[in-house]
Structure 1
Amino acid sequence: METMEPNLALSMYGRAVEVLTSASSSPPSTTSTTSSSLLPQLAHAYERIGECLAQNGDVEGAKKAFEEANKVEETGSRRLLMGQVTGGTDSLGHMKRGIELLEGEMAGNNGMEEEGKEAIPVSQLLCQAYCNVADLWMTDLCMDPSAETSAVSAVESALKYDTGAIPDALQALANLRLSQNRGGDAAEAMTEVWKRIGGGCKAMAEVVGLGDKVVEESANPMTVEGGAVEVEQDALDEVNKLPGFEFRTQTAKLMLESSAFLAANGDPKGIKITLDDAVIQVLGSLLSDNDEVIETWFLLGCAFHSSPTSKQQARFYFKKALEMLEKAKKGMEEELEMEGGFDQGGMGEQIEDIEIQIDDVKDRIEDLGEEEEGEDMEIN
């Protein structure tokens, strides 16, 4: 799993389940103690199988594996995993059960729960769980009459368990405030998120030429003087603490939305300039992680587009996103043609979605105006 080979991991965990199931079902008269001690390992193996299947897009398989893990040994974190691969009221039910179990574990396990080789504070798991509940009320369950009050309550609970180690509760608060049209409050929350993840993001952004100096001065945001930049040793700890790719993508979106609110409604506290620089470095950290995600290039175009002095950079990133979208569309069309036009996997709808995105990017490039002489950048 650590080398990003979920299929190999799946076969090994599957074999582990076979061995552990056989050992744990041995005659009680000879191995009752041993059998009992193997159950946590068996549950752990099922849990990892669920993670592998989820990573491969097999949601139904992941549900079954997580449920087997909970049958063997139910824990709060495993019940939360069930909540993440289900939706709607079913997800809410699993989340609530997970929270109930975790709150019961707070006093018992010295406030820690084992996760692989590391022990994670139960307070951190509870914080993340309440953030997930809040997100459910703002998405799947948003039509419920109690959705807003329930989301507010969940965010307040998440903040109660916020120890400062992770930015999840603050980001959930910003998302809630934007949904309430309180963009100023959202902007303040996102600046606090930035304080927690800024060190790691800056270090990674430097690798692709999007650190502090580049944000302010560079004409070519993908060029770093002297070649590639390596993350210094003293910054590695900050990098290792960074939230995952999807979380940081959401961070960038919330920063952009908060900045747009301040631009339209006034910025009495002078927060916008901080967010405008921060979002570029958050996106730079994503680009450093994986430069094949079209959305990252598009969002960088949006980030530079918001500044009147950064049209050159905005055009560069929008053009790269456009190039990648057109390549993706062409690949799907060729694949569909090879299948004789038989669209079994809904590829036609995906092509239509890409066409809409292509039109959107073209409109944004056109909105930047005529390209000035010598402005065009080479796309690496």
Structure 2
Amino acid sequence: MDDVVIAGVGMHEFGRFNDKSYRDLGSVAAKRALKDANMTIKDVQAAFCANVYEVSASGHNVLERLGLPGIPIVNVENACASGASAVRLAYQAIKSGEYDIVLAVGFEKSPRGFLHGAGYDQWQESTGLGANPLYFATSIHGHMVEYGTTKEQLAHIVYKSHKYAVHNPYAMYRKELSVEEILNARMVSDPLTLYMLCAPNDGGAAAVICNKKTAEKFTQNYVTIAASVLETRRRGDMFVPAVSAPAQTSYPTLAERAAQSAFKMAGIGPKDIDVAEIQDVDAGSEIIYSERLGFCPIGEGGPRAQLGETSIGGRIPINVSGGILSRGEPVGASSLGQIAEITRQLRGAAGNNQVEGAKVALSHSEGAGGNSCVTILKK
């Protein structure tokens, strides 16, 4: 069966846009992706539209801006993994042979403040335990106790993020920060200071997904989807957003299971990845997931990042677009934005943030409730 490829990607800038609706954000991203693929909406045979906080049938409303061509439209919600879940559905639709060209689009106007409504019980909401920063902080605090991870290492993750975001026109925060500024910022949930947490915001991202034979009629600038995996939590998993399972277990965590499935599907291993975009809704998550995805041994994520192994020129550049910490997180669009970023890396189109010679890239997203998506692309 023919390879499944990404023929075009597009993003609406991430930030706060009080004068724009979710329809504006999604339609701009979709139009840019179609233009990038040298296609129009008339070429698309189905669409999968990711969103979390908007109205029902929001994907239909977005595509109305493109002419609403009467194609099947499916609205997708999987928390922070929604966009990547839409890509997986598009991948499966192409792989099955049902369609030749499918559009995946994600969009969001995130509510201000901490995100709620992620499956917490009422008693958690009522007692203040229903805000994600608390669980992110708990996860990395346990990591610090167990492995000696330091606040300085957390600050380095943020420093790296902002250093690269300066060159990313789609990022919300494009200003460098010193380690001292990061450490001395207002404490939100110990040990996480203000800059160690991402900001929910507005944005859109899209990808045109095709079989290879069809893509070549429009463009040669495509990348191949080597793996597209969604894993959800099992009975017995204790859902904690940044870890998705207890720290001490005899079985793999959710992110580990997703990565193992993706590597098996792609026929490669972690050492074959040249660049990665992974879930960094807080600085601690980047450290924890860099370990869970197999990029370094458990407990070594912080020291290795501080030594530059996850920077450009290092062993495995991670989130060198600025990541979610600097791009911000429009929830329905975020993981599709990650996929757009690694697509540009494989095309050699990441500008000052380009990882030289990148041929294999990985995107990882983790959604509330226990959803983990891993996508692997090859040049």
Normalised to the residue count of structure 1, the TM-score between the two structures is 0.25
Q: Which has the higher contact order (CA 8 A, sep 6+)?
A: 2
When normalised by structure 2's length, the TM-score is 0.25
Q: Which is strand-richer, 1 or 2? A: 2
Greater per-residue helix proportion: 1
Flag the structure with larger Rg: 1
